[in-house]
Amino acid sequence: MQRGLGLTQLTLDIAEHNAVPLEDRPVERPRSGHRHLVRNGLVWAAAVLVAAYAASVVATNPAMRWDSIGKFLTAPIILSGLVTTLLITFLSAVIGLAGGLVIALMRMSSNPLIKTIAVGYLGLFRAVPLLVQILIWYNLGTFFPELGFGIPFTDIGLYGDTNVLLSPLVACLIAIGLNQAAYMGEIIRGGLLSVQPGQVEAAIALGMTRAKAFRRVIAPQAAKSIIPPLGNDMINLLKATSLVSVVGVGDLMTRAQGIYASNYQVIPLLIVASIWYLALTIVFTFVQGLLERRFAAGVAR
Amino acid sequence: MNFSPPELRAAADAPALIRVRNVTKRYGANRVLDGVNLDVRQGEVRCIIGPSGSGKSTLLRCLNALTDFDSGAIVLDETRVGYTERNGVLKPWTGREAAAFRSRVGLVSQHVNLFSHRTVLENVIEGPVQVLGASRVSAVRSATDLLSRVGLADKHDSYPSQLSGGQQQRAAIARALAMNPRVMLFDEATSALDPELVGEVLGVMQALASDGMTMVVVTHEMRFAEEAGDRIAVMDAGRIIEDGPASEVFARPRQPRTAEFLKDHFRFAPAEGRRSHA
């Protein structure tokens, strides 16, 4: 009886429901603001709790030595390491950008020989780990005791002692710079490919030489799509400079290692280094944002 | 509108400003241009029509040396395209010479290629300042004038992406005119536009024509060719198959291929557009 009535009711409901045209039936709207807030609040509370617990575990750890972190963060020796890190980053970025532009243009050349050279360069320098490349350049003196310019197969020319010419810093700059050139080359090539061929043709048709068209039209437009991956690459480069600690160039990482080797406060000094790498990365990201805005002109907004 | 002084207007018996002689161009075995001859007089609107792939655009691009050709000769404004005479010998152009030549020929192409990273005004002054070495102040002054003539006085600071296709194409015309070209080349300037935007661009072209600008117009707009064109060349398979005054070519095509092409073109045209070719 009960069941029968329910069934009739259901049938009636369905009949009534079907009588409403599809376009007039109510739809479920996205969750109302109230419930949304509660759910969001719960997620936030959980996140804060986890973060607070993690922080308390780290902060109250007796091995943490907050006093030494504070002391070493601005210690002259750490700051001089920071300057060296920035110097290596800046100079390898310059070598990388210049080399990368050459590699990108060679890679896009219609001359098969030039193109092959660029492809070979990319293959080699991207395949060998940067750490290995740094060690090779650093130890080059054991392989070629003398380096210089001269006429092949003769003794005529200018030569110098490899170990003098390739100081640890120079060896690192060459290693990181050439490695950067490979990655930068692909980034720049990607940017150049993103410029529509019609833009170049318009510049040529206007009477610009190829060089002027590159400067006035291709480069500024390519810059727009180069900047995001470039920013990525710069941050990678900054952190990759810590690899030079294997050959004892006095960068931030080398300095931190040097200190904890004598006072055994390993984690605090690694945190000091981390804080500086984090700070520099924040600065780099900020600069990337500025550049992106600078070159955003003409993007549909 | 007054884009060029009236004394430059056509004189039918003057030597042609552009002379194309037996020009041939191949891509592999394919003859894109197969012995083309064409004259364009000073102040004339010379339309080139014909089916897709007949070589119209290639011919136009040969005229401003954007494309080279295999044999034959083109003379534009008493310059042998592609060569400079040195010690009585015609030597191939350097990149700089080619660029200098192109600065004297305006090109408006099908795909609007305003520099996307520059505003409309910057687009128009780019050529005069960067190529001709004009001062920024005087370039801005003449650009302002040109932009108001093409109806874009209020769009100076807009970026191309903020304009409609028709506005972009009118800005492109202003950019080409800013170079004070001897000749304007139009390569299907309206065929990438939405139908309702075609008229405003053709209007600017028509005004330019009535001011006496020498124009070579590759187009699919038969009514424009008929009304604004002085002489029409019909191309097919790399050859010019018919060449004559606009009125004759449309009213009494001599070649069956021309008649067929025109018939295909007017098949869906409104009756009014067909009035004289029945």
pLDDT digits (tens, 9 = 90+) for A275-298: 999 999 999 999 999 999 888 876
Mean pLDDT in residue range B127-150: 94
CB B228 within 8 A of CB B240: no
| Helices and strands of chain A, counted as H and E runs | 13, 2
Res. B9: pLDDT tops 50 = no
Inter-chain touch A216–B130, beta carbons under 8 Å: yes
- Give the residue among B39, B102, B100 at the shortest CA–CA distance from B67: B102
Strands B71-76 and B89-92: unpaired
- What local confidence, expressed as pLDDT, does residue A146 receive? 73
Phi, psi of B275 (to 5 degrees): -45, -45
pLDDT tens digits for range B150-165? 999 999 999 999 999 9
Residue of A206, A226, A299 to mutate for B, most B C-beta atoms under 10 A: A206
pLDDT tens digits for range A161-171? 777 777 889 99
Cβ burial, residue A136 (10 Å; 0-12/13-18/19+)? middle
Which residues of B lie inside 8 Å of A (Cβ-Cβ)?
A: 64, 66, 95-96, 99-104, 107, 109, 111, 113-118, 126-127, 130-132, 159-162, 175-176, 179
Higher pLDDT, A189 or A62: A189
Q: How many residues does chain A have?
A: 301
Res. B191: pLDDT tops 90 = no
Across the interface, of A198, A216, A298, the residue whose CB is closest to B111 is A198
User: What is the complex's ipTM, to 2 decimals?
Assistant: 0.86
CA-to-CA distance for A159 and A145, rounded, in angstroms?
Answer: 10
CB B261 within 8 A of CB B236: yes
Res. A9: pLDDT tops 90 = no
Report CA-CA distances (Å) from B68 to A137, B33, B74, B172, B240: 49, 11, 11, 24, 19
Report CA-CA distances (Å) from A132 to A127, A175, A249: 10, 9, 16
Inter-chain touch A216–B126, beta carbons under 8 Å: yes
pLDDT tens digits for range A213-267? 999 999 999 998 999 999 999 999 999 999 999 988 889 999 999 999 998 888 8
Ranking A6-10, A101-105, A173-177 by mean pLDDT, the lowest is A6-10
Taking contacts as CB-CB distances below 8 angstroms, the residues of chain A near B101 are 207
Res. A4: pLDDT tops 70 = no
Inter-chain touch A297–B102, beta carbons under 8 Å: no
Res. B277: pLDDT tops 50 = no
* Mean pLDDT, chain B, integer: 88
Res. B276: pLDDT tops 60 = no
Inter-chain touch B130–A212, beta carbons under 8 Å: yes
Higher pLDDT, B277 or A69: A69
Say which DSSP state B18 is in: E
Res. B223: pLDDT tops 90 = no
Q: Which residues pair with B232 in a beta bridge?
A: B47, B244
Inter-chain touch B99–A297, beta carbons under 8 Å: no
Taking contacts as CB-CB distances below 8 angstroms, the residues of chain A near B109 are 198, 201-202, 205
pTM of the complete model: 0.78
Q: Which two tokens stand for residue B227?
A: 């009304």
pLDDT band at A301 (very low <50, low <70, confident <90, very high): very low
Higher pLDDT, A58 or A78: A78
> What are the b/e assignments for B146-169, b being 16+ CB within 10 Å?
bbebbebeebbebbbeebebbbbb
Higher pLDDT, A260 or B192: A260
Res. B8: pLDDT tops 50 = no
Report CA-CA distances (Å) from B157 to A221, A298, B71, B129: 18, 11, 45, 18
pLDDT tens digits for range B135-145? 999 999 999 99
Across the interface, of A198, A209, A210, the residue whose CB is closest to B113 is A198
- What local confidence, expressed as pLDDT, does residue B278 receive? 35
- What local confidence, expressed as pLDDT, does residue B148 receive? 93
Q: How many residues does chain B have?
A: 278
Across the interface, of A201, A207, A216, the residue whose CB is closest to B100 is A207
Res. A157: pLDDT tops 80 = no
CA-to-CA distance for B108 and B89, rounded, in angstroms?
Answer: 33
Higher pLDDT, A158 or A22: A22
Inter-chain touch B126–A209, beta carbons under 8 Å: no
Inter-chain touch B117–A212, beta carbons under 8 Å: no
